[in-house]
Structure 1
């Protein structure tokens, strides 16, 4: 009898190449991601997330060691680097996109903030009643990290205004080529042409629990319709921005179901199981430089040992 499973390990990445917000040695991400995919192709059954959702919703079991691959935000290197490597290993993925990033109407606030800190000329910056010295890289990193945490408590509109204000105070000079690149609508179509799936990551990357019901409805419904209309494909799943349990609420869960999504992924570490809500699927976020050993060891242990059982079945 064929072995089957009721569990799915969903892995999530963001960028492959270094960015201001995610600095890394040149080429390290590309080499690391290639090694990760080689490992997954060898030890796991990599399935399309949409197919897994169909099976889990109908009660049909999954293949043993089932893993689904996802990417958030729509970094340009997802298309230029990740897609060719996925093709090399014959693996499908789902890419969660932000329509206002695709249109160039809005930048990724965390990248804009990191860019301003990296190229800022100010000796210090005041925020939230605290003055942060910026005399060396360690002080800059501490200030950026602490301010980023505070910004995540704001609504999307307030956060956008705050980042613009901080950038003005930091007074960055130069570094134009250092800005993180995001794909446009043609790039998103390239993902589909390569045989991958696309999902929603909200309209503006708003942290949904910080928004009122009307704004949440707009973020979830408009992103789904704009992606579907602009790409000519169904949008069946959503990835909650930031994705921790405090970053979405009961209103979010109700709206996601009412709008017509069939599933949603979080950033709560763990294995998605058929007996858990498909609107709160666990997911492990990794980086392309996570070593293959850590991928099956330290990172998967964040799933509180359940990921280990996926590999061993």
Structure 2
């Protein structure tokens, strides 16, 4: 038996502007990943694993919990069916205002604008970004994404709208990329776990205390009311070091959560702070067999050294 847990995290399965891939590659890759996990590990529900570790109990050898962030619509027709075919449990973290249609996902809106870009350059914050080639556009998008993560949400949303107006025509009508409330209810009815990913997906440490509290309290309230079940697990948006802090963790505890996952790679042990749980973020194209081989050979050192090369965080 073991007292360590590897928490894995995904976002979407099918390609999106922010997470591009060849059509069908995401589903095939995700199926291969689940096959490897089935062969190499034991999947445990995140909530149960947290309870077991908190009580000083033992987990199965190579215990793994599977999680998903943001509320992508393909969860219902790609992620959940793939999990169910193998009898695996997932925990899905939802953004309540995305479910309500009040906001979009700024990272996808930025990527979509660059996908449809017709401008040859962009003047922004005293810098000229070359947009004449696909590689240049990808570089500009990545640089702007990183810059926008350093500001508060209101500034970020306004900036994305202004950038999109400058570089691309208005977006066309398309199928929804994210779940709405009926979709979230259908997800909850599958028996998989549901958690909070805040109200509007801000980077919490960039916000003031009142805004952080509102994001944590109101998301939990909306999800519990809308889904008719207890919601007491949290995933910090972005989730890297500096995206949440001690005050954020204290506010999360006060808001009624009992644990929170980050995107800081590592293994979760019995003495891990419950509001700073390590998690390894993947794309559907990550080689999970390679990942588990490195876990077996290097133990906890894997998480801080190797996984950063396997998949970026969103």
**TM-score band, normalised by shorter chain:** over 0.9
C-alpha distance in 2, partners of 1:278/1:103?
A: 29
Q: Is the 8 A contact 1:286 1:299 kept in 2?
A: no
1:21-68 Cα deviation digits (max 9, x unpaired): 111011011001011111112221100001111111211221221100
Residues 220 and 173 (structure 1), Cα distance of their counterparts in 2 relative to 1, 3 Å cut: closer
Q: Is the 8 A contact 1:50 1:236 kept in 2?
A: no
User: What residue number does 1:93 align with?
Assistant: 90
Measure how far apart 1:293 and its partner are.
Answer: 3.0
User: What residue number does 2:10 align with?
Assistant: 13
C-alpha distance in 2, partners of 1:71/1:288?
A: 11
Computed over aligned residues only, the root mean square deviation of the Cα atoms, in angstroms, reads 1.8
The number of aligned residues is 303
Shifted more, 245-254 versus 55-64: the winner is 55-64
1:231-250 Cα deviation digits (max 9, x unpaired): 00111110000001110011
C-alpha distance in 2, partners of 1:118/1:285?
A: 24
User: What residue number does 1:200 align with?
Assistant: 196
Measure how far apart 1:180 and its partner are.
Answer: 6.5
Structure 1 unmatched runs, 5+ = 308-313
User: What residue number does 1:144 align with?
Assistant: 141
TM-score, structure 1 as length reference? 0.93
1:119-159 Cα deviation digits (max 9, x unpaired): 02211111111011111100100000000000000101111
Q: Secondary structure at the match of 1:257?
A: helix
Q: Secondary structure at the match of 1:261?
A: coil
C-alpha distance in 2, partners of 1:143/1:302?
A: 37
Match of 1:239 among 210, 235, 238: 235
Residues 260 and 213 (structure 1), Cα distance of their counterparts in 2 relative to 1, 3 Å cut: same
Q: Is the 8 A contact 2:33 2:289 kept in 1?
A: no
Q: Secondary structure at the match of 2:28?
A: helix
Q: Secondary structure at the match of 2:301?
A: coil
Pairwise mapping of residues 195-234 of structure 1 onto structure 2 (< 5 A)? 195-234=191-230
Measure how far apart 1:69 and its partner are.
Answer: 0.2
Measure how far apart 1:101 and its partner are.
Answer: 0.6
Measure how far apart 1:17 and its partner are.
Answer: 0.6
Structure 2 unmatched runs, 5+ = 305-314
Measure how far apart 1:187 and its partner are.
Answer: 1.1
TM-score, structure 2 as length reference? 0.92
Does 1:252 find its partner at 2:248? yes
Residues 53 and 185 (structure 1), Cα distance of their counterparts in 2 relative to 1, 3 Å cut: same
Measure how far apart 1:291 and its partner are.
Answer: 2.4
Measure how far apart 1:96 and its partner are.
Answer: 0.4
Residues 129 and 302 (structure 1), Cα distance of their counterparts in 2 relative to 1, 3 Å cut: farther
Q: Is the 8 A contact 1:74 1:95 kept in 2?
A: yes
C-alpha distance in 2, partners of 1:109/1:291?
A: 28
Q: Is the 8 A contact 2:114 2:167 kept in 1?
A: yes
